[in-house]
A = this chain, B = another copy of it.
Amino acid sequence: MKGFFYPSKVAIFASMKEGKTGYEIVKNMVEGGFQGDIFPISPGANEDIFGLKVYPEHQGLIFDLAIVAIPAQYIPPLLEDFGAKGVKRIVIISAGFSEVGNIAAEEQIKDIAQKYQMRIIGPNCAGIMNTKCNLFTSIEVRALPGHTAFVTQSGALGGAVLMMAEELNFGFSKFVSFGNRCDVDEMDLLAYFETDPETKVIALYMEGLTKGREFLAQAGKTAQKKPIVAIKAGRSRAGMRATSSHTGSLAGEDKIYDAAFHQAGILRVEGVEEMFDLCRALNYYTEIAGNRIGVITNSGGPAVLTVDKLEELGLMVVEPSEVLKDDLKSILPPHVSLGNPFDLLAYGGAESFYEVGKRIASEYDALITIFVPTSFMDSTVIATALGKLKSETKIPIFANFMAGRLVKGAVRELENYGIPNYETGERCARVIQKIYQYSKRLKDE
C-alpha cells in the first residue's frame, strides 16, 4: 500500500481543460507542493498548465502512480499498457462501473489488475492524499496536515469532510476515497494505517460491507494498536435503498452492526460532527482510566447540561471525598459549591481553576472545564492555567469555553497545550464516553 502514498512520479490521465478533473488535480498537486514529478496526460492537449508540459500520451514516460479519470470504456486498454510497462499503483477516479450496474466492466479491470499483480484504488472515487509528501491526487479541497487517516466509501462525503475540517483547522495524515473498492478495500487500508507512523487515529465512513467477517477481524486487530472511529451509514430502509447495502454479507440489521463494531473495538459515531469531535480528542488522549468525571465551571447552566449528559451516557459524576471537601474549603470563598460540578461562580479565575483542578485530580479520571467569560474578561489566562494543570497532573482535561470571538484566543492556547475544546460540555461528555469505552476494551483484553 505504501507505494500509493509515497510515489516519486505521478501520471494523471484526464481532461486538462480549465475546470476539468485533470486540470484541478494538477492544480492541487502543484499548489500543494508535491516534490516528485507530475505528468499531466491528455490526448490532443497542447498547452502547458501550471508550468507543466501536458503530454498527449504516456509512452516514453516512467511513473510509479497513475491517476485515471477518463471515460470508463478507455480504461481496460490503458491498464494493459500499465501492466506491460510495470506500473503497479493505479487510482481510478472515473465513474461508470458497478455503481451504475456495469458489473462486467468492473470485473474486467479486476481481472487485469490480478493478471499483472497491480493494485487499484477505486473506481468511482475521489482520489487519495498524503499530507506528509504533499500528494493531492484529487479535485477536493486539500487536506491540512495532521494525524488522522480518513477512509471513505463516498467521495462526495469525503469532499464535505475535508471542507469541514478546514474550517475546524483539523488535519489528516492520509485521505483515501475508495469508491467501488474493486481491489483495495477497507481491510487493506486498516492494515496499512495500523503501522503508518504518521497516523494516530483512523476514521472510516462506510455504507455497505461486502466482507463482514474479514473486516471485523482486521478492525479488531487494528483497534488494539490505534483507535478506529467509524460511521456506518445505511441504517434505515431508505438508506439501504440508496446504498444497496442489503446485499452485503453482514445482514442490514443495524443492531448487528452495533454489536459487531463494539465487539471489534470500533468506536461507532452517528455522523461527521461526532466523528470530528472524537478524532480531535483521540489525537491527544487515547486512554481514560475510569469513569469518574469531574466538572469545574464558572457557570452553573452549562455545567448542569454537561453533568446531565455525562450521567445519561453512564459516566459517574461522583462527589468528592470529605477529605477533599475540607481541603477545598480551605482555599475557596464561602458559597462556592464543593460538590461535583465544582461551581466557582464569579470567583472562577485562573488561580481557582488551577487550584481546584490540582486538588481534585486524584479522585477523578478526567476533567471537563467550563468557562463562560463576560464580554470584558480575558479567557486566555484560564487556558494557560489549564495547560499548567494538565502538565502537572497528567489527567485528561477537556474544555468547553463559551463562546465565539470571546474565546478564540483561549481556544488556540488550549490547543497548544493539547486540550481539546468543544462548543458545549455535552460534546465533551460524548467524547469522554467513547474514549473510556475504548480504554476499557483494551484493558479487558
- State whether B404 touches A163 (Cβ < 8 A): yes
How many Å lie between the Cα of A327 and that of B321 in the bound state? 70
Q: Which residues on the B side are within 8 Å of A402 (C-beta)?
A: 159-160, 163-164
Q: Which of A95, A157, A158 has the most CB of B within 10 A?
A: A157
Q: A352-366 toward B: CB 8 Å interface, digit per residue (1/0)?
A: 000000000000000
- State whether B271 touches A424 (Cβ < 8 A): yes
A335 sits at the interface (CB 8 A): yes
Q: Which chain B residue has the least Cβ–Cβ distance from A335?
A: B100
A residues 150-167 in Cβ contact with B at 8 Å? 152-154, 156-161, 163-164, 166-167
A11 sits at the interface (CB 8 A): no
Q: Which residues on the B side are within 8 Å of A373 (C-beta)?
A: 159
Q: Which residues on the B side are within 8 Å of A115 (C-beta)?
A: none
Q: A121-145 toward B: CB 8 Å interface, digit per residue (1/0)?
A: 0000000000000000001110000
Contacting A164 at CB < 8 Å: which of B243, B343, B423? B423
- State whether B424 touches A272 (Cβ < 8 A): yes
Q: Which residues on the B side are within 8 Å of A205 (C-beta)?
A: 301
Given contacts A24-B376, A163-B403, A423-B164, contact A235 B302 (CB under 8 A): no
A80 sits at the interface (CB 8 A): no
A237 sits at the interface (CB 8 A): yes
- State whether B403 touches A339 (Cβ < 8 A): no
Q: Which chain B residue has the least Cβ–Cβ distance from A423?
A: B273
- State whether A299 touches B372 (Cβ < 8 A): no
Q: A293-325 toward B: CB 8 Å interface, digit per residue (1/0)?
A: 000001111111101111110000101000000
Residues of A in contact, count (CB < 8 Å):
74
A236 sits at the interface (CB 8 A): yes
A residues 163-211 in Cβ contact with B at 8 Å? 163-164, 166-167, 205, 207
A287 sits at the interface (CB 8 A): no
Given contacts A243-B300, A404-B164, contact A374 B159 (CB under 8 A): yes
A77 sits at the interface (CB 8 A): no
Q: Which of A141, A236, A308 has the most CB of B within 10 A?
A: A308
How many Å lie between the Cα of A180 and that of B237 in the bound state? 49
Given contacts A312-B236, A403-B163, A424-B273, contact A339 B300 (CB under 8 A): no
Q: Nearest Cβ in chain B — how far from A233, in angstroms?
A: 4
How many Å lie between the Cα of A160 and that of B379 in the bound state? 13
How many Å lie between the Cα of A274 and that of B298 in the bound state? 23
- State whether A304 touches B243 (Cβ < 8 A): yes
- State whether A317 touches B423 (Cβ < 8 A): no
Given contacts A207-B301, A301-B207, A376-B19, contact A403 B270 (CB under 8 A): no
Q: Which residues on the B side are within 8 Å of A310 (C-beta)?
A: 236, 238
Q: Nearest Cβ in chain B — how far from A133, in angstroms?
A: 20
Q: Which of A19, A272, A337 has the most CB of B within 10 A?
A: A272
- State whether B164 touches A304 (Cβ < 8 A): no
- State whether A140 touches B374 (Cβ < 8 A): yes
Given contacts A157-B372, A160-B372, A376-B24, contact A304 B207 (CB under 8 A): yes
Q: Which chain B residue has the least Cβ–Cβ distance from A426?
A: B271
How many Å lie between the Cα of A157 and that of B402 in the bound state? 9
Q: Which chain B residue has the least Cβ–Cβ distance from A298?
A: B156
- State whether B236 touches A311 (Cβ < 8 A): yes
24 contacts between A and B (CB under 8 A): A19-B376, A141-B406, A154-B299, A154-B302, A156-B300, A157-B372, A159-B373, A160-B402, A164-B403, A164-B404, A167-B405, A231-B305, A233-B305, A234-B304, A236-B310, A236-B317, A238-B308, A239-B311, A241-B319, A241-B339, A243-B304, A270-B426, A271-B305, A272-B305
